[in-house]
Amino acid sequence: MDANQNQTRPNPAWAAIATEAERLKRTKLLDLFAADPTRAEALTFAAPHLIADFSKQRIDAPALAAVAKLAEAMDFEGWREKMFSGGIVNATEGRSAMHWALRASDPPPEVRAAQAKMAAFAQRIRRDVDSVVHLGIGGSDLGPRLIIDALGAHRVRGIKVRFAANVDGADVRDAIDGLNPSRTLLIVASKTFTTQETLANAEFVRAWGPAHLAAATAAPEKAVAWGVPRDNVFPFWDWVGGRYSLWSSVSLACFIALPTGAFHRQLVGAEEMDAHFRSAPFMRNLPALSAAIQMWNREALGHESYALIPYSERLRLLPAYMQQLEMESNGKGVSRDGERLARSACGVTWGAAGTNAQHSFFQLLHQGVREIPVELLVNAGAHEGPPAHRAKVFANALAQARALMVGKTSGEPHRAFPGDRASTLMAIDALSPEALGALLAFYEHRTFTQAVLAGINPFDQFGVELGKEMANALLPALEGGQTPAGVDASTATWLRRLRAQ
Ligand code: F6P
């Protein structure tokens, strides 16, 4: 079947997957290790800056081969090439998805020009400001926020970066707290430049009197009309989805707060991962195999969610970032052609940084009734802070993965651990800009592969629209106006209860 055809007809590959799943459901993880002494190496795969060990997953070569057959039937290679050749992979919006072009070493001329403009602006503005306030939400917030946090060790000293996204005013009030407006740059990041939360926050901060205004947007005229000097409007384009926009001008704050060249190094790492994803066959392709494991856990074994645990304080925002990337991309109920899906393209992504999470929800992971697969990520390179901490971080990550699998018998039921619980252990080679770029590109391509396996379009997000429309319709009633006709009794009661005094 080629990349343009309907994929929702019953797919015989699923019968083979179901057979493998029935076999493996009856097999203990430790027995898989006992049966194959090479398992740890055989199920560890590498890509630029990243390795992943799937050996503690309830999967083996025949099961992976069955998923590879599904990938073939869903034309994984065709869709992958369609994305990388700029084809319309986002058919519902008539768009290509070319976020990868933002990190290409030979980018389109408009991308190169925007990058040069950002680099020059960053150099200049660092002389004038000591603070940057970045306002945006969703994809216009989570990416740069993660990058700034993750590359904190590389930050330019003396430049503070504050973020606010929420329309709860506490967020934006905290963002400017203690800053000097005459030494502050306000960046408004919004692809559409129509997002209620971002514009409300931007108006508040603009009224506070920041010395400089800039915008990152795909709607430059709207930014200019709002009052951003045309020279300070940094474009991106329709073919960059919001949650894939951290490679674009949305990361202007990172250009400013990271040393010259650091953002470029991140693009280089991402491009390395793009090259791997684009060329490696499915069975050696790390993003694709990782997508296969996710789909296997969810659709073949029935685990609805997975916990993402970065054993790295600097990657503590990764779960929040991944929630948007995976669930806004793949949280869909219909195929590309609008047919209802029998199998989902994503489950629930959740998690928090280890070791902190061990002291909260790991109880559920170890002894809860249902198994929840876990993905642990460590930084195998240099660590910051006291040197002795590094080994402790690793000991904890390894111990958790091992404890989940091995469990513990006990005469006392409350002290017993069922074990036989799956995890993936991944390592980046350093917390460098290159490795961060590669890691984030890895996750983008994994998300894309899951969409291909399920036959959906991961690049639209109509599911977020209805709530936005209703919020706009209800707002006047909360500001003292009439309750709109036809509102349900519960909402009407709440409108009365919360109406402005
Ligand atoms: O919440 C939906 C969404 O459209 C996201 O996809 C997007 O990243 C976010 O809102 C912000 O949109 P914008 O960049 O247009 O302000």
Span from the CA of 207 to the centroid of ligand 1 (angstroms): 24
> 394 and 475: one domain?
no
Rounded-to-integer distance, Cα 204 and Cα 419, Å? 52
192 lines ligand 1 (CB under 6 A): yes
264: closest CA among 131, 129, 436? Answer: 436
4 pLDDT above the threshold of 60: no
Q: What is the pLDDT of residue 10?
A: 67
Element (H, E) at 221: helix 220-226
Looking at 260, 278, 299, the residue that finishes a domain is 260
Peptide bond into 92 cis (omega under 30): no
Does 449 lie in the same domain as 479? Answer: no
Q: Has residue 35 been placed in a domain? A: yes
Q: How far is CA 239 from the centre of its chain?
A: 18
Q: What is the pLDDT of residues 392-447, one digit of tens each?
A: 999 999 999 999 999 999 999 999 999 999 999 999 999 999 999 999 999 999 99
Which residue CA neighbors atom 8 of ligand 1 most closely? 139
Q: Residue 11 has what pLDDT?
A: 84
**DSSP letter, residue 92:** G
- The rounded Å distance from CA 47 to ligand 1 centre is 30
- Mutation choice for ligand 1 from 140, 199, 244, 323, CB with most ligand atoms inside 8 A: 140
Residue 7 has pLDDT above 50, yes or no: no
Q: Is residue 157 located within the same domain as residue 251?
A: yes
Distance 325 CA to ligand 1 centre (A): 12
Q: What is the mean pLDDT of residues 448-458?
A: 98
Ligand 1 mean position, distance from CA 305 (Å) = 24
* b/e code 462-493 from CB counts within 10 Å (16+ = b): eeeeeeeeeeeebeebeeeeebeeebeeeeee
Q: 282 and 374 in one domain? A: yes
In this prediction, residue 9 carries a pLDDT of 56
Average pLDDT on 19-48 reads: 97
| 403 in a structural domain | yes
| Final residue belonging to a domain, choices 223, 239, 260 | 260
pLDDT over threshold 50, residue 118: yes
Residues 426 and 376: their CA atoms lie apart, in Å, by 6
Residues 218 and 302 in one domain: no
Using an 8 Å Cβ cutoff, are 469 and 80 in contact?
no
User: What are the pLDDT digits (tens) for 161-190?
Assistant: 999 999 999 999 999 999 999 999 999 999
142 shares its domain with 211: yes
Strand order in the sheet with 212-217: 160-164, 131-135, 184-189, 212-217, 233-235
Q: Please state the atom number of ligand 1 nearest to the C-alpha of residue 461.
A: 6
> Is 247 in contact with 103 (CB distance < 8 Å)?
yes
Q: What confidence tier does 280 reach under pLDDT thresholds 50, 70, 90? A: very high
Q: Residue 312: is its pLDDT beyond 70?
A: yes
d(CA 121, CA 232): 8
Structure tokens at 315: 């990657």
Are 450 and 475 part of one and the same domain? no
| 422, part of any domain | yes
Largest CA distance in the chain: 72
* 467 pLDDT tier (thresholds 50, 70, 90): very high
| Chain mean pLDDT for the chain | 96
CA distance 264 to 434: 9
In this structure, the answer to whether residues 161 and 69 fall within a common structural domain is: no
Look up residue 226 and give its amino acid. Answer: W
The answer to whether the CB of 139 is under 6 A from ligand 1 is yes
Q: How far is CA 142 from CA 273, 390, 412, in A?
A: 21, 27, 45
Q: Which atom of ligand 1 has the smallest separation from the CA of 250? A: 14
User: Do 308 and 365 touch, CB atoms closer than 8 A?
Assistant: no
Domain boundary among 215, 242, 260: 260
pLDDT at 163: 98
Whether 272 and 418 map to the same domain: the answer is yes
Q: Is the CB of 83 under 6 A from ligand 1?
A: no
Asked if 60 and 130 sit in the same domain, the reply is: no
Q: Is the pLDDT of residue 462 over 90?
A: yes
* For ligand 1, atom 2: residue with the closest CA: 464
pTM above 0.95, yes or no: yes
Nearest CA-CA partner of 194 in 183, 186, 185, 202: 202
- CA separation, residue 207 to residues 201, 202, 215 (Å): 10, 8, 16
Q: Which domain holds residue 449?
A: 13-89+267-454
Tell whether 252 and 289 lie within a shared domain: no
Which residue owns the Cα nearest ligand 1 atom 6? 242
Give the pLDDT of residue 6: 41
In a domain, 99, yes or no: no
pLDDT over threshold 50, residue 326: yes
**Predicted pLDDT of residue 157:** 87
Q: Which of 244, 323, 464, 472 to mutate to test the pocket of ligand 1 (most atoms within 8 A of CB)?
A: 464
- Quick: pLDDT tens for 144-165: 999 999 999 888 888 999 999 9
Could you tell me how many helices (H) and strands (E) the chain has, helices first?
Answer: 20, 11
Measured in Å, residue 138 CA sits from the centre of ligand 1 at 5
What's the whole-number mean pLDDT along residues 291-320? 98
For residue 349, the cross-strand partners are 306
470 domain-assigned: yes
pLDDT at residue 162 in the model: 98
pLDDT band at 5 (very low <50, low <70, confident <90, very high): very low
Q: Is 198 in the pocket of ligand 1 (CB under 6 A)?
A: yes
Residue 333 CA, ligand 1 centroid: distance in Å: 20
Provide the domain count of the chain: 3
Active site residues per annotation: 328, 359, 468
Answer yes or no: do 235 and 139 share one domain.
Answer: yes
Please report the pLDDT score of residue 224 as a whole number. 98
Q: Check whether 489 has a pLDDT greater than 50.
A: yes
Sort strands 160-164 and 131-135 into parallel, antiparallel or unpaired: parallel
CATH of the domain at 201: 3.40.50.10490
Token digits for 204?
A: 């508040």
Closest ligand 1 atom to 195 CA: 16
Distance CA 240, CA 96 (A): 8
User: Could you give the CA distance from residue 118 to residue 235 in angstroms, rounded to a whole number?
Assistant: 10
Q: Is 135 in the pocket of ligand 1 (CB under 6 A)?
A: no
The whole-number average pLDDT for the span 283-287 is 98
Kindly state the DSSP code that residue 334 receives in the 8-state scheme: B
